[in-house]
Each structure stands twice: as structure tokens, then as C-alpha cells.
Amino acid sequence: MNEIADTPLATPTMRLDGLTAVVTGAGRGLGRAAALALAGAGAKVVLVSRTLAELERLAGEIEAAGGRAEALRCDVTDFAQVRDTIGALERIDILINNAGMNIPQPFLEVGEENLDAVLSLNVKAAFVVAQAAARRMVAAGDGGSIINISSQMGHVGAPNRSVYCTTKHALEGMTKAIAVELAPHNIRVNAIGPTFIVTPLTQPFFEDRAFREDTLSRLPLGRLGRLDDIMGAVVFLSSPAAALITGASLVIDGGWTAW
């Protein structure tokens, strides 16, 4: 069989109709944007975080626009909760493993409490959530897509971000390792590495003129990221259009890591 001659070509779809997507840290920022993008592409979105009121507002917004959403309260650092909530869902086709944190500090000043907090959420919880979702995907036998929200800091280093960089480099390695293991189940695992995205959480950093100017000087495209900059990548990597992409990291960094 001549695969080139015999296979008709058609533009791959990025629609997600009939699929169920789980988004952690969905109540605000990158998680909220990812949830809106997935719902807009037709997926039913399960919104996960510790703050139910935020999730319910977002679910209402999605449903008002004609989408489908469910709010699910879960502290992803409580692994019994992860097992009993995310791990008990009837179906998961897509996971956006987004919950994370950063506590910027000079390396010499990092204490054990902050070190443990960032490692626990950014690495251990991400691992456990991915494992819970993957188990549901394997049980269903229909494949799936796991997207770990990493950072450009998973590819470079930066002052005052030794712990954060440690966790995001770890997440990049985890992405590659589980991509290889889950490939026989047709479960794709990729990472997205955004640059600085303006959100209510990061906005105060950019009120410091020196920090803002230094950040912009490192971005060849000359601007900070917006939430909608990550939405297309989330849909693409979740969709059949990315069917042969696994173990990859898509940096959305304005050229930061290209220097």
C-alpha cells in the first residue's frame, strides 16, 4: 500500500466535541483561560480548585455561552482528595495539569517551608494528578491528552527563582518520561511553557518599573504575554491536530529562550 498516494488529505480538526477535559487551578489565571478555550472548542470541562465559588462563577459563564462545565472542589496537594474526586470521574479525555505556585526568593534565603510548599504543589501534586487522570484514560481505552503547564523557567534559569526553576525543570522531565510510558495507550503527554503572563496574580510584579523593563528587554517580541496567548496552544495540543505530538514542550515565550 502506498500510504502517500492512498491517504486522502484533509485539514485536521481542532474541535473537541464529545470529550471531557479536566483543568486544575481552573478558577483564575491560566487555568480559567484554558477552561474557556476547551469549552469553546466543544469539550465538557471539569473545573478543579480549592475555591468552589470561583469555579461556580466560571461554570456559569461557560454554560451561558452554550458550553458545558462542572465545578469540582479538590485540593490537589491532598492525595486522598485527588483519588476520590479526579480519580473517580467517569471519563477523562484531556487533562490540563495547571495548579502551581511561585515564591520568589534569593537562593541563599530559601527556607524549608517555602521549598516544601512549592515542590509539593508544582511537582508532587502534578505527578499524582497526572497519574490519576492517566489511570482513567487507560481504563477507558480511548487514549487521551495530558498537558502539563510548565514555564519558560523549565528551560532556563533566573535570579530569585531557584525553587520555581527546579520544579519546572522537573515537570519537563516528568512530561517526557510519562509520554514514553503512556504512548502504547495512545495517551499523549506534552508541556506548555509560557513566559510572564499578565494576570491578577502577576500584575503587581509589573508595577515595579525596573522589573517590567528588565522583563521586556528579554522578550524579542517586545511585549508581555496575555492569557489568550496560551488558549490556542491548549486547544491544539488537546486535539486530533496534534495526534503525533508527545513528549514535547511548546514554549510560548515571545522568544525569551531563543537568545
The structural domains of the chain, ordered by start, are: 16-199+227-252 (3.40.50.720)
Per DSSP, helices labelled H in the chain are: 3-6, 29-40, 52-64, 79-84, 112-119, 126-140, 162-182, 209-217, 228-238
Sign of the C-alpha dihedral computed for residues 136, 138, 140 and 144 taken in this order: positive
Catalytic option among 44, 124, 168, 176:
168
Cβ atoms 74, 85 nearer than 8 A: yes
Mean pLDDT on 50-58: 97
Residue 1, pLDDT > 60, answer: no
Residue 215 grid cell? 522583563
Tens of pLDDT, residues 139-189 = 999 999 999 999 999 999 999 999 999 999 999 999 999 999 999 999 999
Tens of pLDDT, residues 73-126 = 999 999 999 999 999 999 999 999 999 999 999 999 999 999 999 999 999 999
| pLDDT-based confidence at residue 13 (cuts at 50, 70, 90) | very high
Report pLDDT for 202: 87
| pLDDT-based confidence at residue 4 (cuts at 50, 70, 90) | low
Q: Angle at the Cα of 140 (from 134 to 144), degrees rounded to 5? A: 50
pTM of the entire predicted model: 0.96
Tens of pLDDT, residues 207-259 = 999 999 999 999 999 999 999 999 999 999 999 999 999 999 999 999 999 98
Is 168 a catalytic site residue?
yes
Report pLDDT for 130: 98
| pLDDT-based confidence at residue 8 (cuts at 50, 70, 90) | confident
Is 164 a catalytic site residue?
yes
Q: Angle at the Cα of 39 (from 202 to 138), degrees rounded to 5? A: 100
Residue 67, pLDDT > 80, answer: yes
Tens of pLDDT, residues 36-52 = 999 999 999 999 999 99
Tens of pLDDT, residues 124-136 = 999 999 999 999 9
Report pLDDT for 3: 61
Residue 66, pLDDT > 70, answer: yes
Cβ atoms 44, 70 nearer than 8 A: yes
Residue 18, pLDDT > 60, answer: yes
